[in-house]
Chains A and B, each alone.
Chain A
Amino acid sequence: MASMVASGNRDGQPLVPKGVDPETCMIVFKNHWAQVVKILEKHDPLRNEANAVQNYVEHMLFLLMEEDSGQAGAMGPILEFVVMENVMERLFVWSLRREFTDDMKLEQLKMYEMLVGQARQPLLHHKPILRPLMMLLSSCSGTAAPQVEAELVLLLNQLCCVLAKDPSILELFFHTSEDQGATNFLIFSLLIPFIHREGTVGQQARDALLLIMALSAENERVAKHVAENTYFCPVLATGLSGLYSSLPTKLEVPNEEWHCLHKEDWLKMPSLVQFLNSLEFCNAVIQVAHPDIRDQLVGYIYNGFLVPVLAPALHKLTLEEVMTTTAYLDLFLRSVTEPALLQTFLSFILLHRHESVHILDTLVSRINTPFQLGTVSLALFRTLIGLYCEDVMLQLVLRYLIPCNHMMLSQRRVVRERDCYSVSAAKILALTPSCCSPDRSPPPLRQLDSILFSKGAETPNSTRATGKRDTSFKGTFCVVYYEIYLDVSYLHYLYDARLSISGCIQACQVWSALYDGEDPPPEKYQPGVLEEPALTRTQMPNTEPPAVNQLELEWDDSYDACPVQTAEAPVESKPPQQPPAEPPKHIQEMRKTAIMLVKGTYIEENEFQDDVMVYDLVAKKDARDVERAKLKSRGSESESTQQGSAELPLKNGLSLTLPPSLMAENSMKTLEPKATGQTDCKSNLQNNNTAAAELGDDLLAQYEELIRTLDSEAGGKQVKTDAEVKKPVAPAAEVEEEEEEEEMDFTSFSAETPEPEKVQSPFGPKFCSGSVGRSHSVPFTGPFVSVLLSRMENMLSNSLHVNLLLTGILAQLAAYPQPLLRSFLLNTNLVFQPTVRSLYQVLATVKHQIEEQAASRKDFPELITAAQHWLLARETSFMAAGRHSSHGEAGRILKSSPPPKPKAISLDRTDVFATVLFTEFLKELAAIAQEHSILSYIPMEE
């Protein structure tokens, strides 16, 4: 009947013509009701009588709907009659007595939907209307018919809208439920089963629930009810787990460039869309709901989804699965906006330990995997550091910098110094490879614009003689413009740097500390305190210790790249947890899989396309393990070698700074199989022991050779180039920003006064602090930084997109205003501890590699030009697509579909592309350094 009623209305011809006076309507209504009552009272109405009821009711409902409320909000006469006569309940009971089919339910639901939606006076305040509605709703619970469900949810949604507008009805809803002997909040409970539903029904249900959540923020009773008497939060959280389990465990990766799930990717995956809908809903609930509900939900998500589901998924057996989970996690982090929910995800990443390893450490270690997992992990970290979250940055980088052990003691005050004269920018730009010198690239590669710079040509001195006062000055200072052809892209980099730094400064205003080398005080957080689990535990009883066991970070080449760290530290001083624990289980598993694969006894159902790479990896790792063991077993021998190296510096001031970096580079070369040639690795694996032994010998031999070279050719060519490349640079002059009182002593500005401190020799402080500063621990800037730098060091062999991600992450890190981070990454004047690798050193190493490459290959310049052309075309196509606002080449977000492959040059020439990218990255970094020198020093209130 309701459908007929509804259709009648839709035609725009109401059954009751407008303008009919209320009294007539009332009379009609009463007459109809009298007829209906006669039929209702019959025990067994005839079919046509039932139809008659339908018609009467239809008409009556319209009269009720069209009625305006009486004066001062009183009920209209029809409504009053309905309430007095209990019309609705009697009708409902009558239909119950007959066969209460799904069709009947549907019709009644529609009837109420219409009434609730279109009545001109509030109806739900009246129990005689509300109660039958509730009875109807509860009779619909658990219904399976989709049509009924759809109509039910629609009606519930409508009721929630009414509730949201008029919360005073809320009490009635609870009371009505009590009348039925239930204390539940029926409309809420009925909605819960639809939370995770797909399509419109699910969406309407979630919208309705959100309205109630918003209500809960102001109404304790609702909040309490939802939190204590319903399964709302557990259903939501476990629903996430359920939906997660239906996601593909392995993604089909479109191409090698792919590294994260973009919208166009996940829109093609219905199960992922559904998961994201539910996640978005959780996000929304947390945003609007009462804090009790929020906390409960967040707790369930942590304990019901992240820990039991996501953590194991991040530690699955195959690389592809792990990569897929990582990509999901990245997507989830990008989808969540509500701080409380982000906090849940982040504390899971930062603090949760899966099989005694922090998730964060595992994720960091994966950056260094040569597979797509490494790339996807990079993308995840790009997301993480883009959150401007203090906790994340603290765990990843800052806590390693707080003790200030990475620099010389005397350098601490340099941390806050401002680079007034763009010295660092100049140094960074000076690393531009000669083959990429701006002079060498013709337009359009280098878009030049003439820029007018102006300078004053004359000072008014010349007018001294003329004697006239006022007029004589006019025009004596003439501004002379000189044109300079400049790479326009540098202006864009400056502009981008300005945007990104100022955005970052703003975002970091909520942080708890400045991280400027004084706050937090370095003395208070020396590594022993900061990193040793036992101590931390006693200090902060409630938080998990942030201990990082370096050796647990498998596949992290950075440790091997700096053998100095392990070798140089005297054996006694090693922390007790140093002996290699078993690698984490997931890595053991992965290795097992890989090894079985290699031995040919293990066949996976699915294609394991990366098998060659796994093979390679295992080979590398095994070789390294053996080598490590070898180094250890020959403890005494290596120690004596170390002794030798430690003594050398005393004879030769240079060598103390040089060996670490040189050794690092050298050992890298030794450890990394030169090319990833399969045959190499196979033979490596076959003669595992001998090969590794040779490798180890080789390393020592090379090392000794190196020391000898250094000793004999201290002033020689090689040393010179290397020194040029690597030596930490001493500050050109001391910068003093003294707090001057109004009465200044201007003599202090004159050169006659002795300078408070002499310019330091670059090697001066090394001797003293080399022995003192590292008494208890080797300076370490943290696994994240070392992994990034070691991948950066391999820039020439990285694929283009890996380098884009890497440079993007480093540029983002460099934009952070915290002096500790800024000085570590950008201040080329800061003198670091010899064992600490700085970004500048790594860049210098890369430049060196590029120069070598360029010198040895004749076709290099042409290839560079070809690569530049292709990258420019690629850039243009991105710009045209309007996807990006930034101008920079580095840090570019990649699309899923790559532009056509370059013709003139193969993408496999990673060295060529890396060279071009390197040059651009230098500009990007220099621009960031320059903008820092202005932006970071303006107090925010200015």
Chain B
Amino acid sequence: MLPFFFFSLQRSDNEEQSGHGEQRASPARLPFGKKQLPPIPKNAAPITKPVTTGTPAQSANGTHASYGPFYLEYSLLAEFTLVIKQKLPGIYVQPSYKSALMWFGVIFIRHGLYQDGVFKFTVYIPDNYPDGECPKLVFDIPVFHPLVDPVSGELDVRRAFTKWRRNHNHIWQVLMYARTIFYKINTVEPLNPEAAVLYDKDVHLFKSKVVDSVKLCNSHLFDQPKIDDPYAISFSPWNPAVHEEAKERMFTYKRRPEDHHKGTQVSGLSWVKPGSTQPFSKEDGSPQS
């Protein structure tokens, strides 16, 4: 059985909390205002192009390009909201503070050969997303598995996503895939041939190796996060003084959205009867009747 533990997201203290607070782990917003340079002096060369009349073609592209980072940022935010929406069982992810292209995650295996395994991993998203290759998923500790590289810990994602297609492929699918491999073992073209061979030839030995691997992973659970980042996922031993209250809140406070937003909320109006498209069709009727 797993020891009691608690994992938390480190947050740097100087980070300003937005109004959304803990409502959901917010991916790193553009850190503007914090890291800005002094204002550009007038006539600064790189931005101020001399105005030339009648050459519209060249700058049209420039417009486009300068918003590029926004598109990438929002694409990743959209991916992240998709992950939230999927509610993947036993999988938690959190984009890094430093780069939206790097997500920290942890996966809990609840039954099967890898039962009780808690595997931390990092997802690396190519910076030409979504037009590049598929994201990489690397386990912090290379878990013993035919599809996980025994040295780098990288999962063979590409076999499931031979070609990454925008609109069709999403990061939640990669996460889902990472979970599936622990329940349904595939030994074709393995990254870890030893594991593959053992699974096919000597399941008992395979099983015991898996148990060892799970133990190893779990023994490193409380290690410092491998990548120093305020949003890295870190585990700490169960400490009632710190965690009890939070646990209590998780179990008692079933948040209802209506209650949650009360007070500040702008309320809309509707007198439309459900199923009707007529205004003022609700029973309570309109005054002129």
Contacts and interface: CB of A to CB of B under 8 A. Distances in A.
A683 interface: no
A339 interface: yes
B146 to A, nearest CB: 15
Given A350-B279, A930-B70, A422 B75 contact: yes
B171 to A, nearest CB: 11
Contacts of A744: 173, 176-177, 180
A352 B278 contact: no
A388 interface: yes
B286 to A, nearest CB: 5
Interface string B112-131: 00000000001011010010
A510 B167 contact: no
A93 interface: no
A733 B277 contact: no
A448 B47 contact: yes
B63 A429 contact: yes
B49 A751 contact: no
A390 B287 contact: no
A931 to B, nearest CB: 8
A249 interface: no
B160 A749 contact: yes
Contacts of A743: 180, 184
Contacts of A485: 40, 46-47, 66
Contacts of A851: 56
A736 B288 contact: no
Interface stretch (A463-471, A568-576, A614-622, A799-807): A463-471
Contacts of B173: 740, 744, 746, 749
A524 B71 CA distance: 38
Contacts of B208: none
Given A344-B287, A448-B47, A452-B35, A474 B62 contact: no
Contact of B71 (A421, A746, A941): A421
Given A429-B67, A490-B67, A512-B272, A395 B279 contact: yes
B186 to A, nearest CB: 10
B196 interface: no
Interface string A928-942: 001001100111111
Given A934-B78, A942-B84, A388 B269 contact: yes
A750 B163 contact: yes
A266 interface: no
A469 B151 contact: yes
A830 B69 CA distance: 25
A414 to B, nearest CB: 11
B198 interface: no
B142 interface: yes
Task: Sort chain A's interface into a size bin.
Answer: 35 or more
A446 B47 CA distance: 10
Given A430-B60, A460-B138, A442 B42 contact: yes
Contacts of A351: 279-280, 286, 288
Interface in A738-759: 740, 742-744, 746-747, 749-752, 755
Interface in A323-349: 339, 342-344, 346-348
Interface string B50-86: 0101111101101110110111011101110110110
Contacts of B8: none
A486 to B, nearest CB: 7
Interface in A489-518: 490-491, 494, 503, 506-513
B124 A477 contact: yes
A435 interface: yes
Interface in A713-752: 732-736, 740, 742-744, 746-747, 749-752
A443 interface: yes
A484 B67 CA distance: 10
Given A434-B57, A512-B276, A746 B177 contact: yes
A454 B67 CA distance: 15
A426 B71 contact: yes
A942 B24 contact: yes
Contact of B268 (A450, A511, A755): A511
B64 A430 contact: yes
Contact of B102 (A464, A469, A477, A483): A477
A456 interface: yes
Contact of B176 (A432, A487, A740, A861): A740
A347 B280 contact: yes
A941 B87 CA distance: 12
Contact of B81 (A295, A461, A937): A937
Nearest to A432: B63
A451 interface: yes
B289 interface: yes
Nearest to B124: A459
Contacts of B53: 858, 860-861
A578 interface: no
Central interface residue in B32, B35, B277, B286, by most chain A CB within 10 Å: B277
B190 to A, nearest CB: 16
Interface string B146-163: 000101111000001111
Interface stretch (A22-30, A133-141, A539-547, A871-879): A539-547
B64 A510 contact: no
B274 to A, nearest CB: 4
A348 B289 CA distance: 12
B279 A751 contact: no
Contact of A467 (B69, B75, B151): B151
B166 interface: yes
Contacts of B277: 394, 398-399, 402, 520, 525, 530
B84 to A, nearest CB: 6
B14 interface: no
B99 A454 contact: yes
Nearest to A482: B69
A339 B282 CA distance: 14
A420 B166 CA distance: 9
A606 to B, nearest CB: 35
A434 B280 contact: no
B271 interface: yes
B194 to A, nearest CB: 15
Contact of A751 (B60, B70, B81, B163): B163
A391 B270 contact: yes
Interface stretch (A35-43, A74-82, A298-306, A312-320): A298-306
A892 interface: no
A55 to B, nearest CB: 58
Given A351-B286, A520-B277, A749-B169, A440 B49 contact: yes
B199 to A, nearest CB: 19
B261 interface: yes
A461 B152 contact: yes
A938 B81 contact: yes
A484 B130 contact: no
A858 B279 CA distance: 53
Given A347-B280, A937-B85, A422 B71 contact: yes
Contacts of A432: 60, 63
Given A437-B60, A456-B99, A543 B281 contact: yes
B124 A456 contact: yes
A464 B127 contact: no
A736 B168 contact: yes
A272 to B, nearest CB: 24
B279 A456 contact: no
A697 B75 CA distance: 52
B252 interface: no
Nearest to B28: A454
A540 B281 CA distance: 9
12 contacts: A391-B279, A420-B75, A420-B166, A429-B64, A430-B60, A439-B62, A440-B59, A456-B125, A542-B289, A733-B165, A750-B162, A933-B77
Given A343-B271, A469-B142, 15 more contacts: A302-B287, A390-B272, A430-B60, A447-B39, A451-B69, A460-B152, A479-B96, A491-B32, A510-B269, A512-B272, A744-B180, A746-B173, A749-B169, A934-B81, A937-B81
The 4 closest A-B pairs by CB, nearest first: A434-B56, A507-B268, A388-B268, A391-B279
